Every structure is written in structure tokens, then in C-alpha cells.
């Protein structure tokens, strides 16, 4: 189990008790070994996929200790304990956490509280997540809620709207050339088990066949529907197909693999909604928050 960043504060400070300069990467490795963090856990990433969770938590433990004045960084990537930090270790605290650090004015200023407000419940209620984890967790919850709302909208609209939505999404993803050209193909095939075709690229070097089913949630697409679609592709001499539904696929449908070279991509309602969000179909931007960091190149640091 990956320890939370508050649990890492005291062990991190203890690593610096020798008063020597310590490289951040070395501290991460040592703490991972002390806490018996497995290799798989070490590879776990934040939802954004930009940073490892454990490394991020060690980084924030270091930041909080630094803001409280218990450690300092004489240069980039280096941590050293301060006299204040040594004094804390001499008292043999059972743990160091946010509640402990709020005794330091510099830390209260960092979390935007005044000394007289240091007993405010807001400090006690700070979660065990790092700021990035809290922010990304909130983002994922908002995205999941938006996806569900989108799907409810899609299910409540006519089948013809669903076909147009599929066209616009595939074109935004780089297929079909233009919406006008793609729109002529969807719904015009007339072949059993095929709703339409779309160019795989703007030049039309290959054709992808499409099946689009606007079904209610709970009415899952089963293996027979997929087999029927594969059969229709075979009748056209086609080898590529996309099966899109506003509902779900049964496990049997997902596990089905054609014996020939036919490649079928299944897109269920949840993935459809996520793709709509990614490609700005039926959504608009409410707010944009930029997360910035120090540009060390600007300051000439190596």
C-alpha cells in the first residue's frame, strides 16, 4: 500500500538527521524501501498520467516540511535539515502531520491561514491526498458526472441524431475527411448489419464499416449482434469495423474474436461519452485552471 504524504513527513525528516545534503531521488528510493512499496505500486500514476503517485507524495511531504522551516533546499533537488528540524527530532514526536505543522507561522502562511485561525477545523479536515491528487480527483469526478449527463442526453434523442453524432465524433477523431462526405455514407448502406461506412483517412485509402445502436442502458449488446456485424463485413469483403452503442456490451460480446483478419472496435456508452468530452462534442469549457511550476531554465539552473 502506498503511504499518504503526511505519513511520509517524519520518516523523511529522520532521513536528514545526519545534517548532510540528500538528493531527492535518493530519498524517494530509500523511503520506498522502508515502506516496502512494491514495484507495481511505484509505477502507479496520478490520473493525469504525468507523475508517479509515490514520488508525488514524497515531494509534497518535503514541500510541507520546507514551508514549516524544518528543512531547506540549498540548491535544486537537494534537501538539508534545519536547526528547527533537529529540535523537532530531539523531542521524539510520534508523527508529523498538518496538525503538527500548524504551530509554525510560515506554514500557516503557506496554507493561507492566520495564526489566530490555526485551530480552524479547515486545517484538520485537509485530506491525506496531495494537492495534485485532490485536484485531479475532483476533475475525474466532474468528468464522470458530465459523461453520465451526456449519455442520458444521447439516449433521449432520436436515432437520426445519434447517427449524426457518430459522424461528427469520427470526423473529429480524424476519420472520414469531412462531415459532409462522411454524412453521405452513414445510414445509406442498406446492407443488413451495417449502418454506414466512413473513410479511414482523408484520402480514403481504406474504408471502415459502422454499426451504431442507440439502445437504452441495461439493454446490452450481445455476442449475436457482433457476429452478425462480422458476417456483414465478410459479405462486403471488409476487414475493419466499429460497433458503437449508447448502452453496454456483454462479456461474451467483448470476448468474441473473429477467426479471420477482421478487426472490430467496440465503443460502449461510457467510452462514447468520454470520447465526446475529449473531442468537444456536445460540451463547452466552463473554466480553465493552469497549474504552473518554476521554470529552472529561466533562472539558469542546471
In a domain, 302, yes or no: no
Count the Cβ atoms, other than its own, within 10 Å of residue 67.
17
Q: Please report whether residue 171 resides in a domain.
A: yes
- Residue 135's pLDDT is 85
Q: Are residues 152 and 122 in the same domain?
A: no
Residues 243 and 178 in one domain: yes
Position 239 in a domain: yes
Listed residues 94, 129, 164: the one ending a domain? 129
Q: Is residue 173 part of a domain?
A: yes
Of the listed ranges 8-12, 201-205, 227-231, the one predicted with least confidence? 201-205
Residues 235 and 201 in one domain: yes
Region 196-212 average pLDDT: 79
- Residue 297 domain-assigned? no
Do 201 and 231 belong together in one domain?
yes
Q: Is residue 4 part of a domain?
A: no
pLDDT for 93 equals 95
Which domain range does residue 86 map to? Answer: 9-129
Give the pLDDT confidence score for residue 10 in this predicted structure. Answer: 97
Question: Can you give the pLDDT at residue 267?
Answer: 95
Q: Give the CATH number for residue 53.
A: 1.10.10
Residue 116 shares a structural domain with residue 172: no
The full length of the chain comes to 302
Could you tell me if residue 285 is inside a domain? no
Q: Is the model's pLDDT at 41 over the cut of 90? A: yes
> Per-residue pLDDT for 67 more than 80?
yes
User: Mean pLDDT across the stretch 81-91?
Assistant: 96
Quick one: 165 and 264 in the same domain?
yes
Both 168 and 264 in one domain: the answer is yes
Q: Which of 62-66, 91-95, 243-247, 287-291 has the lowest mean pLDDT?
A: 287-291
Name the domain count of the chain: 2
pLDDT at 185: 53
Which of these three, 129, 156, 183, is where a domain ends?
129
> Residue 247 falls within a domain, yes or no?
yes
Do 250 and 160 reside in the same domain of the chain?
Answer: yes
- Percent of the chain surpassing pLDDT 70: 87
- pLDDT digits 0-9 by tens, 134-193: 888 888 888 888 998 899 888 888 887 888 888 888 888 888 766 666 655 555 544 455
- The reply to whether 211 and 92 lie within a common domain is no
Does 68 score more than 60 pLDDT? yes
Task: State yes or no: pLDDT of 133 exceeds 90.
Answer: no
For residues 115 and 156, membership in a common domain is answered with no
Lowest mean pLDDT among 41-55, 63-77, 197-211, 258-272: 197-211
**Residues 118, 43 within the same domain:** yes
* Residues 106 and 17 grouped into a single domain: yes
Amino acid at each position: 500500500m502506498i503511504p499518504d504524504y503526511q505519513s511520509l513527513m517524519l520518516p523523511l525528516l529522520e532521513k536528514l538527521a545526519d545534517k548532510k545534503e540528500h538528493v531527492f531521488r535518493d530519498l524517494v528510493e530509500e523511503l520506498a524501501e522502508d515502506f516496502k512499496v512494491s514495484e507495481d505500486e511505484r509505477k502507479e500514476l496520478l490520473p493525469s498520467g504525468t507523475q508517479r503517485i509515490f514520488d508525488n507524495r514524497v515531494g509534497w511531504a518535503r514541500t510541507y516540511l520546507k514551508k514549516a522551516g524544518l528543512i531547506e533546499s540549498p540548491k535544486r533537488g537537494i534537501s538539508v535539515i534545519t536547526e528547527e528540524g533537529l529540535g523537532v527530532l530531539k523531542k521524539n514526536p510520534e508523527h508529523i502531520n498538518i496538525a503538527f505543522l500548524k504551530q509554525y507561522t510560515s506554514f500557516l502562511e503557506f496554507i493561507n491561514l492566520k495564526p489566530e485561525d490555526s485551530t480552524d477545523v479547515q486545517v484538520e479536515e485537509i485530506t491525506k491526498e496531495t494537492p495534485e491528487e485532490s485536484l485531479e480527483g475532483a476533475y475525474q469526478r466532474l468528468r464522470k458526472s458530465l459523461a453520465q449527463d451526456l449519455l442520458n442526453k444521447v439516449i433521449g434523442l432520436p436515432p437520426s441524431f445519434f447517427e449524426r453524432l457518430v459522424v461528427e465524433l469520427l470526423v473529429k477523431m480524424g476519420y472520414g475527411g469531412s462531415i459532409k462526405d462522411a454524412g453521405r455514407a452513414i445510414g445509406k448502406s442498406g446492407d443488413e448489419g451495417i449502418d454506414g461506412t466512413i473513410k479511414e483517412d482523408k484520402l480514403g485509402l481504406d474504408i471502415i464499416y459502422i454499426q451504431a445502436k442507440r439502445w437504452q442502458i441495461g439493454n446490452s449488446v450481445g455476442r449475436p449482434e457482433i457476429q452478425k456485424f462480422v458476417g456483414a463485413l465478410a459479405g462486403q469483403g471488409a476487414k475493419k469495423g466499429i460497433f458503437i452503442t449508447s448502452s453496454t456490451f456483454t462479456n461474451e460480446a467483448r470476448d468474441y474474436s473473429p477467426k479471420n483478419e477482421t478487426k472490430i472496435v467496440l465503443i460502449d456508452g461510457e467510452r462514447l461519452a468520454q470520447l465526446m468530452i475529449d473531442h468537444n462534442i456536445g460540451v463547452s469549457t466552463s473554466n480553465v485552471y493552469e497549474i504552473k511550476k518554476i521554470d529552472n531554465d529561466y533562472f539558469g539552473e542546471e
